[in-house]
Structure 1
Amino acid sequence: MTTIWHNLKETVINTYNSLGLAWWVEIETQHPRCTYYFGPFLNSTDAKVATKGYVEDLEAEGAQGILVNVKRCKPDNLTIADDLGERIDRKVTPAFSGQI
């Protein structure tokens, strides 16, 4: 039953996301100057609950000047590194990852 619920929830989230109705956590950092998007989420409550972990991870990496916004959107890029002028897709893994 849990698997069925999980699959149904994923389908609804993906549908909401394709329509631009899903909720995302947008986190901007001043140093480094980046914007990160975490999600998608079915509702704002789920997104807000997840926010704490994302902020803790960024703080552990040394990020400073963290601003958080939970909103409905459909980001084109999940990470925008303004300092470097780069747009980074976190879903993409390096071709040589895992090799020694």
Structure 2
Amino acid sequence: MKTIWDNFKELLINASEGLGLVWWVEVVTQNPRCTYYFGPFLSSTEAQAATKGYVEDLETEGAQGIKVEIKRCKPSNLTIADDLGERIDRKVKPAFSGQI
């Protein structure tokens, strides 16, 4: 169940995202050669706190050569699979309760 804070936070993220002011976790893997974007987040601190879980999930799936960068950007695709020559947009909405 969403709280008032969750609703307010979602509103802030939506407004900030349109201005390019939100933070994203960019994860690049060498094997497979992919780039993943996780977010958006209201602060770099919040994005950094979520990073460990994303890296652990990718390691569990067998990804190697993982590099992480926290940055402000506006990704048009959330997953870019360079090995397959395709771009996959998962249209994932953030799960606010799991990001803190």
Q: Give the length in aligned residue pairs.
A: 91
Q: Which has the larger displacement, 20-29 or 2-11?
A: 2-11
CA distance in 1, matches of 2:64, 2:7: 37
| Structure number, greater radius of gyration | 1
Structure 1 residue runs of 4 or more that deviate by more than 2 Å after TM superposition: none
Aligned to 1:34: 34
TM-score (norm 1): 0.88
How many percent identity over aligned positions? 76
Give RMSD over aligned pairs. Answer: 1.2
Unaligned runs of 5+ in 1: 93-100
CA distance in 2, matches of 1:14, 1:42: 10
CA distance in 1, matches of 2:38, 2:84: 20
Q: Give runs of aligned pairs for residues 13-92 of structure 1, distance below 5 A.
A: 13-91=13-91
CA distance in 2, matches of 1:91, 1:12: 19
CA distance in 2, matches of 1:17, 1:62: 31
